[in-house]
Amino acid sequence: MKTAPRMPSCRGDVPQPLPAAMRTHRAPIQRMTEEAIHRALVQHLERRAAHGVVWWHTPNGDIRHKGAAGRLKALGTKAGMPDLLLLADGQLYALEIKRETGGRLSDVQRRRLGELAGAGALTVEARGLDAAVGALKRWGLIR
């Protein structure tokens, strides 16, 4: 039976650290994707939404056939709508979800949030799940 070669030691049998080229690298920390944050936030809302809160997602982000996209545009579909819209006590809330690092608003998303805020909606760009849950708590939309 063969054994793995021993690393030479300058102190007898005391093991020495492996050379850098032989060390295994740790996998980078996995950050939640925007979709994973969105799904987790939906679970929070399903379990913890305050009484009277109505909320929804407008599914604008999927890739569609040109004919379907044209039909939806003719029916009033707007680009850049926030990930979640919530309505409570006559107040509209708009939540745009981004990853903690790396995600950024597109120009059309920025304009849409501005339009909604100009019309009286409370808007937020939430970076990560904690920020999104925090916004819902500050707004009093989850228990």
For position 24, what pLDDT does the model report? 58
Q: What is the DSSP letter of 62?
A: S
Q: What is the CA radius of gyration of the chain?
A: 25
pLDDT on residue 31: 82
SS (H, E, C) 75-135: CCCCCCCCCEEEEECCEEEEEEEECCCCCCCCHHHHHHHHHHHHCCCEEEEEECHHHHHHH
Nearest Cα residue to 100 out of 120, 130, 135, 71: 130
Q: What is the pLDDT of residue 68?
A: 85
How much is the pLDDT for 26? 59
Per residue in 61-97, pLDDT (tens digit) is 777 788 888 888 899 989 999 999 999 999 999 999 9
Q: Which residues of the chain have pLDDT under 70?
A: 1-30
